[in-house]
Amino acid sequence: MPAALYALAAGAFGIGTTEFVIMGLLLEVGNDLGVTIAAAGLLITGYALGVVVGAPLLTVLTGTWPRKKVLLGLMALFTIGNLACALAPDYWSLMAARVVAAFAHGAFFGVGSVVATSLVPAEKKASAIAIMFTGLTAANILGVPFGTWLGQTLDWRATFWAVTAIGLVAMAATALLVPAKDSGQAPRLKDELRAVLQPQVLLGFLMTVLGFGGLFTAFTYIAPILTQVTGLPESWVAPILLLFGLGLIAGNLLGGKLADRALMPALVGTLMALSAVLVAMVWGAHETIPAIIGVALLGAASFATVPPLQMRVLGKAGGAPNLASALNIAAFNLGNAIGAWAGGFAIDQGAGLTSVFWLAALISLGGLAVALISWRLDFRPARIAAACPAE
Instruction: Give the domain CATH number at 115.
Output: 1.20.1250.20
| pLDDT score at 183 | 54
Kindly tell me if the per-residue pLDDT of 322 is higher than 50. yes
Q: Considering 164, 185, 206, which residue would you say is the last residue of a domain?
A: 185
- Separation CA 346–CA 344 (nearest Å): 5
Q: Between residues 273 and 384, which one has the greater pLDDT?
A: 273
**Same domain for 306 and 381?**
yes
pLDDT-derived band of residue 182, with 50, 70 and 90 as boundaries? low
| pLDDT score at 264 | 93
Q: Are 7 and 178 in contact (CB under 8 A)?
A: yes
pLDDT > 70: percent of the chain: 94
Kindly tell me if the per-residue pLDDT of 389 is higher than 60. no
Q: Are 154 and 25 in contact (CB under 8 A)?
A: no
| pLDDT score at 8 | 93
pLDDT-derived band of residue 142, with 50, 70 and 90 as boundaries? confident
pLDDT > 90: percent of the chain: 40
| pLDDT score at 50 | 87
Length, in residues, of the chain: 391
| pLDDT score at 186 | 61
Inter-CA distances, 324 with 63, 82, 187, 241, 301, Å: 12, 27, 12, 32, 24
| Tens-digit pLDDT profile for residues 337-373 | 788 788 888 888 888 888 999 999 999 999 999 999 9
| pLDDT score at 388 | 46
Kindly tell me if the per-residue pLDDT of 245 is higher than 80. yes
Lowest-confidence region among 31-45, 70-84, 106-120: 31-45
Torsion (CA) 25, 31, 37, 43 in degrees, nearest 10: -60
| pLDDT score at 387 | 47
- Separation CA 325–CA 315 (nearest Å): 10
Number of H helices, E strands in the chain: 18, 0
Q: Considering 185, 205, 228, which residue would you say is the last residue of a domain?
A: 185
**Same domain for 142 and 214?**
no
- What residues make up the domain containing 192? 187-391
**Same domain for 157 and 259?**
no
- 131: nearest Cα among 122, 144, 120: 120
Inter-CA distances, 76 with 101, 169, 333, Å: 9, 11, 22
Kindly tell me if the per-residue pLDDT of 172 is higher than 90. yes
Q: Are 137 and 249 in contact (CB under 8 A)?
A: yes
pTM listed for this prediction: 0.79
| pLDDT score at 376 | 92
| pLDDT score at 269 | 95
Mean pLDDT to the nearest integer, 299-319 = 88
| Tens-digit pLDDT profile for residues 78-125 | 999 999 999 999 999 999 999 999 999 888 988 888 888 888 888 888
- Separation CA 116–CA 129 (nearest Å): 6
Mean pLDDT to the nearest integer, 332-338 = 83
pLDDT-derived band of residue 65, with 50, 70 and 90 as boundaries? confident
Q: Considering 185, 200, 219, which residue would you say is the last residue of a domain?
A: 185
**Same domain for 23 and 34?**
yes
pLDDT-derived band of residue 390, with 50, 70 and 90 as boundaries? very low
- Separation CA 130–CA 330 (nearest Å): 17
**Same domain for 214 and 268?**
yes
Residue 390: DSSP 8-state: -
**Same domain for 331 and 212?**
yes
Mean pLDDT to the nearest integer, 261-278 = 94
- Separation CA 143–CA 200 (nearest Å): 36
**Same domain for 60 and 203?**
no
Helix (H) or strand (E) holding 23: none
**Same domain for 320 and 192?**
yes
**Same domain for 132 and 85?**
yes
- Separation CA 331–CA 338 (nearest Å): 10
**Same domain for 206 and 264?**
yes
Kindly tell me if the per-residue pLDDT of 242 is higher than 60. yes
Kindly tell me if the per-residue pLDDT of 28 is higher than 90. no
pLDDT-derived band of residue 184, with 50, 70 and 90 as boundaries? low
**Same domain for 223 and 178?**
no
- Separation CA 145–CA 150 (nearest Å): 9
**Same domain for 337 and 290?**
yes
| pLDDT score at 204 | 93
- 199: nearest Cα among 316, 113, 307: 316
Task: Domain count for the chain, please give it.
Answer: 2
Residue-averaged pLDDT of the chain: 86
